[in-house]
Amino acid sequence: MTDNIKTDSPWVAYLASPDGWVYASADDAAEDLGPEEEVRIGVARGTCAPIEEDGGLRLPDGTFNAGDRVFELETYIDGEGDESQSAAVRYAQAQAMAAGLNAAAGLPAVTIERPDDERIEVHVNGREVATANHDEHGWSGMDAVEKTALAVARAFGAVVPA
């Protein structure tokens, strides 16, 4: 029998080191691991989605239930010289796949954008719902808006691209 306990959770794209530590971008992975290293890229939810561990995000260990991983591939950050195979391109494809799966399931999409270093915008399904800027709110105010938006989005099962 299939365990369907987590099938209503949002799909997320991830880019992780071979040992499961999740990165926000291919640039972050390249900076930490080196541009010629291998990474894991995939789309998962529920039991396979990244979890907070030791101050960062990590892929869970063990077996997984209910078909909670759509796919996972291993690639080199630099694509071994082929940009179309690079981690940045593959991660963008995984993010698009996760967004499509969530849209098909009717889950809301939340985006947090920083048009520049001193402004943050929060959008729900493409509609701006909150903003903050350094001049009016300071760095701590911008950080509070981001943390609140992430907490609310996750509580409602919304998707927040990295």
* pLDDT tens per residue across span 11-61: 889 999 999 999 989 999 999 999 889 999 999 988 888 888 888 889 998
pLDDT at 26: 93
pLDDT at 1: 37
pLDDT at 4: 45
| Number of residues that make up the chain | 162
Q: Say what the pTM is.
A: 0.71
| Res. 161: pLDDT tops 60 | yes
Q: Where residue 2 falls among pLDDT bands split at 50, 70, 90?
A: very low
* pLDDT tens per residue across span 102-159: 888 888 778 888 888 899 999 887 789 999 999 999 999 999 998 888 888 777 767 6
pLDDT at 99: 82
pLDDT at 39: 97
